[in-house]
Structures are given as structure tokens and as C-alpha cells.
Amino acid sequence: MKISLNWLKDFINVDIPINELEQKLSKQSTEVTQVLNQTEKYKNIVVGEIVALRKHKNADKLQVATINIGGKKIQVACSAKNIKEGQHVPVCLDGAVVPSTYKTKEEFVVKKMDFRGEMSEGMMCSERELDLGDDHTGIYILDENTEVGATLSEALELDDIILDLDLQSNQGYCMSHVGIAREIAALLNISMNWEPSELNLPQDSTENELKIEIKNEDLCSRYTGIIMEGIKIAPSPLWMQNRLRAAGMRPINNVVDVTNYILLEIGQPMHAFDYDKIAKKNKIPTIIVRESKKGEVIRSLDEKDHELPEGVLLIADVDKPIAVAGIIGGENTEIDDKTTKIVLESANFNAIKLRTGSRKLATRTDAVSRFEKNLDPNLTMIGLKRAVELLLEITEGKVVSKVVDVYPKPVKPITLTLPYERTSKVLGMEIEKETQIKNLELLGFEVDDQGEQMAVTVPTVRRDIKRPIDLIEEIIRIYGYDNVPLEYPLVPQKPSPLNPKTRLIRKLQNAMIGLGYYEIQAHSMVGEKLLNDCNMEVGEHIKIINPQAPEKEYMRMSLLPSLIWHTKENQKVNPEIKHFEIQKVFHKNYEYKAEDRLDTYAFEPQQLTAVWGGENLSYYDAKGVVEAILKNLNIENVEYTANDGSIFTSKIFHPTRSAIVKVGNSILGIIGELHPQVIENNDMEGNNLGLELDVIAILDSMPEQTFFKEFSRYQAVSQDLSLLVIEATKFKEITDLIVKTSPLVQKVSAVDQYRGEGIEKGKKSLTIRLVMQAEDRTLSPEEIEEARTKILSELEKRVKAKLR
Amino acid sequence: MNPLEELKSLLDSLKKELKEVKDENQLQEVKIKYTGRKSKLIEILRSIKDLPKDQKAEVGKQGNITKNEIDNLIDERENSLNKEKATEMAGEKIDLTYPGNKEEMGKLHPITQMYDEVVDVFRELGFTIWEGSDIVDDWHCFEMLRMPKDHPARDSQDTYYIEDGKILPRTHTSSAQSMAMLQLEPPIKVLVPGRCYRNEKVDPRHTDQFYQFEGLVIDEKASVKDMKATLTEAFRRLLNNDEIEIRFRHNHFPYTEPSIEVDATCINCGGKGCSFCSKSGWIELCGAGFVHPEVLENFGIDTEKYQGYAFGPGIERFVALKHKIPDARLILENDIRTLEQF
């Protein structure tokens, strides 16, 4: 919202530098997003008189004007058609900044330049280029009484400073110059010079009657109207035009400008209808406030045709809609040059109704942005009186009806009680009673000091103030947060431990980094194509009903697809890149009950997932990683069983070169080579591996405590056995057998397995390493040999394994 | 040969052999050969007792002299060998700039690094880390926070919807306030970090997925002053700068009263004003405020006794500030060329 400093000066005496005012407003009231100085803005732009005009020698569409800029003449090339000799025009001199290009609205700097063979020493501008209006059909022709050579600022009295404010949704009371003046008065602790107009409007019927009918008073709490005639439509005075422009509005004519002026000054949106265009019943115009029926049409003032959905709040006469209430007027009752008699509307409409209506019509106006902030219905009369006052002053019109005011449930000020001690408690420090009272009074509240507490009468314009805490906020912000000292200690609280899951996640993060994996933070949403490319289906994924793109339509049930996607992308830079992610996945909770506040719609377990690729990778590389991680967490008795398709992501993995990881009955997850189809679908480099482990399952498998175990300090002997075994024989069978056969064997590890050339079909070569050690002595060569012989014979007998 | 001659020839052959010695091992062999238990010298020395009396003294004396001489010669050669070795090592020039044999560690995503830092800093300040659901219902996300349907504040939080629109991925971590208040009794001092989602067009300043950390303090003595001290301390630690000033500005949120916008001195220009802070000298960090009594009442908390504050900064903001990342999209892109920088 744009606020004119000149306008504010009608009500308050601002005597601090503008940047201080800006800071104060931003910190204690509403954010100032921009400060614009018109004198600066129109620097180097002057009033010029076109003294000669001729065709450009090289371009048919251009003219060359000789312009007197006051004691000096310059030559300007121009393509506009509306210029004539003798006219006064705005001229940007060399180096001037044109505020708004007609297309992009960006600034640009005028330079003296050669224009196809003719020198152009400046530029004439349209209203739009000067940011003074919308017109760009030609050069802005100035009044002939403007002084040639004067700056445009002087000539048009553009000497204002404009504050652009970003108001909050509860600051309806601030949406006017009076509102902001009151805020500033409170912030600066100064008095405010504004009283509502005390104009007397006729209370008895005069020559004209006006009927107002509100169908649903919940949607329109008040409608105030009056008829005026003898109006002469003309441009409004320059001071009014300038104020409208400063506030970002385009001047139209005196009647419309007055209604807009009231909106900007007091915050009450108003509308004027052409009396003669309103349908009459028994010669009486009737204003009806009602909801639209489906299919009704109206052409709005901005020349758009709207086919209305059902339930939009309308202003209608007995025949037709004549305005969309509080949003935009209808063209059929528009004020035009011939208008002499008007009906003025000053009403209060339901905030939510207007907000939804405005959305349905895709029309936002200055009126909507006020009404949707829940305006005070008591403003309608204040606004109407002020409007009539101004119209009497500038249009030669007169009031020809009584004021009709339909206001079934008048809004009365509320009174709140606030103990002084309460404010201090919220602030965390003593704030004196006198300060509390003064701060509220500055903002227009009436305060009755009752000793330990105050009774505060809230002006009806402050519809945001409903509870004592709202008053506390007002007191504190006027007091100023800057005045709250930085003091410790903080609220004491028993420090709590980091929860075990977070602690585990940090361990897992460190483990993965240590193993060379880079973490990814992928999007929680995935698309159907990626799922399909990963052999998965949409199935039970939680669906976003208003997705931005097909790639973000489902909440992911596994991290693997997005991780595969990111790994593939980064493989283009580094084919050996290794990635991991630890995040939530989302599974629908079919037991969800909306009424149970503690129940949740989805299960959101966290998973550790990794994907990486490389030329010579196999299942055993994936397994090595998992073994390293689990060993680091002291998890023992881990089993690796066939990927039988029972895991949600089973199909992402190779059917045989992958395994389900278990500890006891608990499934930790799945690991292995990715399915060749997945690798192909995703254009990945080399062979690719994946792992997916459930964080909670890992946590549950971790021993609660680990205790010291005595170990033998006698010499350990290691022995390698190269065996020829039947291909189907599992490593685990052999190790179990060996451990069972000889108590001396402490550990069996794998050195190598091989099948192919040199090994008969159906067999494989397996090299294992035995570590033998006793608790109480160094083993003798005889003992070792004896154990070895026994082991070999058992192996041959039980699993037909032979020494190679 | 008589023993004296033998001793002399021992020295001669030792000198010859020492010349041939190339390294420590060979020297050791020579040493054993000439001074070991089975050496000629020891043999001669042992045989002295069998010599005629007149030769005993002479040979004995010469034997000791020779032994010393042998020891000296070997020591000398050892020294010269060491010197040669030192010279040789000094002469060797390896390419120190040639890359090391490959050992690689990964890295955490910059968001995670900041997330962990946030968790640590707030734990230091006495907060308990709490977890909220990403997918919540309308009540947790909006209604209990005094944002009924059609409330204008909802406009600023474009929402993704699930099912019939009553379920949604949370637009802010404030939705976790309800879970904390449902499950915990005051005094409460929790921090809930997590992902949020908004159906916003992705541009240099916005992403449709981001992290927030919601702080919630409900206590008899929780105050505006306390909130200012807490946030100042926390943000100074997070931005690793004790000089920055934290500024509170009046604002409005439906679920807090008073509501506050929290700014920090621009860490890029130190408050002088630069393009980073749009020349204002300040950067916005988060919304905060005093929990509205109606919100507390929703959870049966005694508002006569308890009051409290809440705040909800975004993590990406801190990541961008810390690393001067100009475009929010870069953080979510996960390009390895970005990730390996931090």
C-alpha cells in the first residue's frame, strides 16, 4: 500500500528524518518496503514547449520536434502522433531516468543520441512512462498554463515522498492515510489532528427516495446510501489527482476520484452509480444486496464480462446486477461524462465472502484488499459524510435525498480488562503502568485505570483486538522491542539426552562418509515414470492431488528411486560416485482415524539407502559395506537370505544377486546388485549396487550394552585351505562344519572363490583362512596338524570338499 | 704363517673386504666374520695360551691392538656407509605434488550439516529434540493454529493436498506444536526440525521443499525477553558471529500474539547495506511470537499459569548465508560439483 507523506501531513506533524520514520514503522508497525522521493524520481524532467515540428529526414514514422525548455532549445525525435506545435510536454533531458518503460515497467536512462541521422537530445514521455497513469497512446500533453522550463515536479506539484507498506492481514485499521497517521502519532508520541466529518446529512425524506434491501445481513452488515444531483463531471483538482497518483491510483473524474480518495484517506471503499441508469420501480431506485444466481452476467468497469457462479455477493437493481459488491462496479451504471445524478454507496461486506468472490472472479481491487481485512461498519457513515463534503466542494452537486442507512446490528466498542502485571509477565520485565496506559491511549484506546488493572475500551475500527493479549502486543510494540535488554539466564530446563534414533542416524552418517559416500537430500515426492523405471508401480503411494509436475505426484515409499536418479545424474560427472540418503519414507496408515489427534495418516519410517556404480562391482561389494556398517554397530548374527520378492523394493534388485538382511526375526532391509532392467531404464554407468536398511530395525538389533570379553594372548596360527567344492555348497555350511569339528578354530574367513577355467563343471574353488588359537597355551605343530587333518576329513565326508 | 703375520694379513684382508661392502647387511657379515665367535681373530687370541712363553706377550699385545683396529675399521666403515646413505636419501627427489594413493571420504549434504548444527546449538540451550510428522491433517497444520478455512494467512502458504484435501504435507513445522502439546506436560522446551512442503513455483528464493526448525517453549516464566536472549544466542552461534545484532520487528501471525519478525545484521556487509540484504543492512531470519492463548487453550494448558513462545526459521536460509549460495535451487539440485564443496 502506498502512503503519501504530504497527505499524512494533513493529520500529523512528522518532524523526524524519513529514514528514521521508515525504521520505526518497520519495527513497530508495518514493514516499509520502499521509500520513493518524487523530486528525485522526476529529476531532469522538465516542461517543454514544442516550437517546431517536422518530418524526420530518414524515417517516415518519426517526427523531429524543436522544444523550448526555458531559455534553450533542444531537438527531440519522436514517433508519437498526438503532438502539435504549441503544446506543453514533459521532456526527459540527457541523463534523466524514465521511471517506467511502457512494456516492462523498468527504469531506463535517456541519452543524447543519433536517431537515424538526426540528433535527439531528450525524450518526450507518455503518462505510463512517467508512472503517472496507464495511458500510452501518445505523449502526455500538459496544461498550457504550465511554466516552460519548470521541472515536472514543480509543474505537477510532484514533491511528495511515498512510502510503500507491506501490511499484515490483521491490519485493516491501517489501510488508509488516517490509519497510518494514527500509527505514526503513537510511535512518535505526538498528537493527531483528525476528526470525522461532522457534516449534517438530511435525515428526512426530500424530493428523492432511495430504497435499500439487504437479503442476508450476515453478508452485508451495513449499507449507507444517498442521492446527489447537479453534478458536473470533470477532472478532479490537481491536488486530488496528485494524491491519488502518489497512492498508486489513476485519476478518472471528480466523482470516481472522490470515492477513491475516501478509500485512501479513511479506508472505507465507496462506489458511485449513475442514478439514471438504475432501474426504478414506481420511480424509486432500489438497491438490492443479494447473492448471484448461477449464470448471471455482468460487465465490469474494467470492460471484462463475467459469467457469475452461484453465490457471489452482488449489488442489483430491480432488473439486473449493477455491481459485484465490494469488488468492482458494473459498466451498466458507470459514471460517464453525461452523468449528473448519482447514488453514493458506502457499505460493509463480509470479509470471507468477498475474498472468495474475488478469487472466483480473478479480480483483485483496492476495495477487496480492505474489505477482506474485516472493516469497521461504523466507517460507512464517516466515509459517506466526507465524500459528500468533497463532492459539494468540487462538483457543484447537491444532496437530494435523505441518507439511507441500513444497519441492523450496530457494532459497539468492546471493553477488555487487563491487569498491569500481566503485560510485565509476558515481556519478562517490569513495564510501568503509566507507560502501558499512555501507549494504548496514543493508539486511540480509552483507558480506565482501576488500580491493579485497566479497563480498555477498544475503538470499533480495531476489529483485530479481541483479547487482553492483543492489548499486550500493542503496549509492547509501542514500547519497542529494541528497548528489551539482552539478558540471561534463559528459562532453566533439565537438559535432555539426544534420542537414540538421532544418535544412530549420526553414527550412520559418519559411517557412510567414512566409506566414501556423499549424502543426497532428494525430494520427498516422486513421479510415476521414475517409479516405473525402477520396476515399481504407483500402487499404494500417497498421492498429491494438486501436484506441480508429474515428477512430484507421489510421496515416496522408498528412497531408492530418487537416489538412483541423482546417482545417474552425478555419474555423468564421476562414474564412480557413491551416494547415500537417510530420510523418511511414507506408507499409508490404513488404521488412521481423523478424530484421533495423535493418530497420523502415514507411517514415516526412516531408512538408510545407498546407490553406487562401477565396472567390477558385485553383490559382495554391497555386502561388504553392510557388514562393515553392522560390525561397527556391534550387530551380530546377521543373516543374508534370498531376495524372495517379499520386500517392498525387491524388484529394484537383481533377482538372484541380492539378499534380504535379517537379524533373528527382524528384517533390516535389502542389498545387492540393481536389476539390469533398472540400470538400463535409468541409463546408469557400469554395474550398480544398492542397499536399503530400516533405521529402527537397525536400532532394535543393536545390543543394549556390550561387555568386555577375555581374549587369548597366546600365539594364533593361520592356515589357508584351497578347496574344491560342489558349486551349491554354501560358505556358511563349510564354516559351521569347521567350527563344529575343531574347538581350536577361532575364525574362518574367505580368501577367494573361483569357478570357470581349470575347475571342473559343477564345482568351484574356495580358498579359506583358518585362525587357530588356544586359550591357555601356544599350540604345538602336532596339535595344529591334527586339527587340520580332522577338518579336511570331515569336509570330505560331509560336503565332498577336497584339498586342491 | 706366525700369529703376528696372520694378524697383519687379517687387517689387510679386512680393509680389502670393507671396500667391497655396499650396505648394512654386508657390513654385518664382515663384522661377524672378523669379530664373531668363530672368527680368525678369536681363534688366534684363543691360541695364545699354547704359544711359547717368549711369544705370548708379543702376540697378546699385538692381538689386542689388532682387535681394536678391526673394531675401528668397521666403525669407520659404518659411519661412512651412513653418510653415503644420507647423501643418497638427500639426493633422491620424489614428486611431492603427485596425488596420493586413493582414499576417499564422502560428505554430508550442506543442509544436513546445518541441521546437525541446529540440533547441537539448541540442545546446548536446553531444548529437547522432538519429531513431528511430515504428513498431517488440516487441523494440526492450520486450524489449531487459528487459521480456519478461507483465512487470508493461508494464501501465503500454498499447500499440496492429499486425498480430499484434509490431509497435507505440512507447510510449516508449526504443525508439530500440537503433537508436542498433546504429548508433553508443561514446562515444554522442544525443537522440532523437519521437512516442509509448499506448492510454490521454484525460483532462486523459493523451493517447494525446505526445512524448518520449530522451537516451542511453554513455561511459567517464558517471556519476550527470554525469547530475545535465546534467539540472539542461538543465531549468533549458528552464524558463527558474536557481533551480529538480532532485531525484533512487529508482525502478525494468527497463532502468536505478540508476533515478531526476527532479523539479523547482514553477515555479508556487517549492516552497511549490500545487494545481499537489498541494501537494508538486515536479513530476515524467521517469524516468531508468543503462543496465542487460544492455541494453548486448545490443548487444555492453563493460560493463567503458563505462557510461551515459538519460532520457526528455515534451515536453507542459514545454509545460503553461511556458504553464500546465491540460488536456493542449487541446494536441492544435489549436483556432486556442489556437494563436494562443503
A721 — pLDDT class (breaks 50, 70, 90): very high
Residues contacting residue A162 through CB under 8 Å, at least 6 positions apart: A2, A3, A4, A5, A35, A36, A37, A38, A246, A247
Tell me the average pLDDT across A51-69: 91
Determine the residue among A175, A471, A475, A481 to mutate to test chain B binding: the one whose Cβ has the most chain B Cβ atoms within 10 Å.
A481
Q: Which residue of A has its CA nearest to B102?
A: A516
Residues contacting residue B278 through CB under 8 Å, at least 6 positions apart: none
**A578 neighbourhood in chain B, CB within 8 Å:** 106
Return the percentage of chain B with pLDDT > 90, whole number.
56
pLDDT in tens, A603-621: 999 999 999 998 889 999 9
Q: How far is A559 from chain B (nearest CA, A)?
A: 14
Residue A317 grid cell: 437493481
What does the pLDDT read at residue B102? 86
Note the ipTM here.
Answer: 0.85
Q: How far is A671 from chain B (nearest CA, A)?
A: 20
**B258 neighbourhood in chain A, CB within 8 Å:** 426, 472-473, 476-477
- The residue ranking higher by pLDDT, B56 or A430, is A430
Please name the member of B135, B153, B179 whose beta carbon is closest to the beta carbon of A555. B135
DSSP A141: P
Please name the member of A373, A429, A513 whose beta carbon is closest to the beta carbon of B106. A513
CB B31 within 8 A of CB B39: no
Distance of CA B313 to the CA centre of its chain: 23
- The residue ranking higher by pLDDT, B276 or A362, is A362
| Least confident piece of the model among A677-681, B191-195, B317-321 | B317-321
Are A502 and B258 a contacting pair at CB < 8 A?
Answer: no
What does the pLDDT read at residue A554? 97
Give the count of Cβ contacts less than 8 A between chain A and B.
225
- A27 vs A45: CA distance, rounded Å: 35
Chain B, 306 to 325: residues with Cβ < 8 Å from chain A are 307
- The residue ranking higher by pLDDT, B193 or A107, is B193
What does the pLDDT read at residue A498? 86
Q: Which residue of A has its CA nearest to B163?
A: A545
What does the pLDDT read at residue A492? 64
- B229 vs B222: CA distance, rounded Å: 11
pLDDT at A595 over 80: yes
Tell me the average pLDDT across A208-218: 94
pLDDT at A687 over 90: yes
| Residue-averaged pLDDT of chain B | 91
Q: How far is A542 from chain B (nearest CA, A)?
A: 7
pLDDT at A102 over 80: no
Are A470 and B252 a contacting pair at CB < 8 A?
Answer: no
Tell me the average pLDDT across B302-328: 92
- Strands A666-674 and A687-694, by their bridges, are antiparallel
A489 — pLDDT class (breaks 50, 70, 90): low
pLDDT in tens, B75-134: 999 999 999 889 988 888 888 999 898 889 999 999 999 999 999 999 999 999 998 999
Residue B164 grid cell: 480430499
Instruction: Provide the β-strand partners of residue A36.
Output: A162
Tell me the average pLDDT across A216-228: 96
Contacts for A310-314 with beta carbons within 8 Å, 24 or more apart? Answer: A312/A357, A312/A360, A312/A361, A313/A219, A313/A220, A313/A289, A313/A349, A313/A350, A313/A353, A313/A354, A313/A357, A314/A289, A314/A290
Determine the residue among A521, A551, A590, A592 to mutate to test chain B binding: the one whose Cβ has the most chain B Cβ atoms within 10 Å.
A521
Instruction: Provide the β-strand partners of residue A77.
Output: A64
pLDDT at A757 over 90: no
DSSP A430: -
Extract the runs of DSSP E, i.e. beta strands, from chain B.
128-129, 135-137, 167-169, 188-197, 209-219, 246-253, 256-265, 282-291, 307-311
Query: pTM for the whole thing?
Result: 0.85
What does the pLDDT read at residue A133? 77
Q: Which residue of B has its CA nearest to A555?
A: B169
**A566 neighbourhood in chain B, CB within 8 Å:** 334
**B166 neighbourhood in chain A, CB within 8 Å:** 594
pLDDT at A134 over 90: no
**B161 neighbourhood in chain A, CB within 8 Å:** 544-546
- Give me the count of residues in chain A: 804
Determine the residue among B124, B319, B334 to mutate to test chain A binding: the one whose Cβ has the most chain A Cβ atoms within 10 Å.
B334
Are B226 and A573 a contacting pair at CB < 8 A?
Answer: no
What does the pLDDT read at residue A380? 97
CB A458 within 8 A of CB A415: yes
A490 — pLDDT class (breaks 50, 70, 90): low
What does the pLDDT read at residue A496? 79
- A658 vs A644: CA distance, rounded Å: 10
Please name the member of B160, B166, B224 whose beta carbon is closest to the beta carbon of A426. B224
pLDDT in tens, A279-304: 999 899 999 999 999 989 999 998 89
Q: Which residue of B has its CA nearest to A494?
A: B126
- A472 vs A469: CA distance, rounded Å: 5
Tell me the average pLDDT across A6-14: 94
Please name the member of B107, B116, B133 whose beta carbon is closest to the beta carbon of A604. B133
CA dist B294 to A172, A299, A466, B224, B256, Å?
A: 21, 44, 11, 18, 9
Are B223 and A429 a contacting pair at CB < 8 A?
Answer: yes
Tell me the average pLDDT across A500-517: 96
Are A373 and B290 a contacting pair at CB < 8 A?
Answer: no
Nearest to A563 by CA among A669, A678, A641, A643: A678
What does the pLDDT read at residue A128? 86
Are B126 and A485 a contacting pair at CB < 8 A?
Answer: no
Please name the member of A29, A490, A518 whose beta carbon is closest to the beta carbon of B107. A518
pLDDT in tens, B207-259: 999 999 999 999 998 999 999 999 999 999 999 888 889 999 999 999 999 99
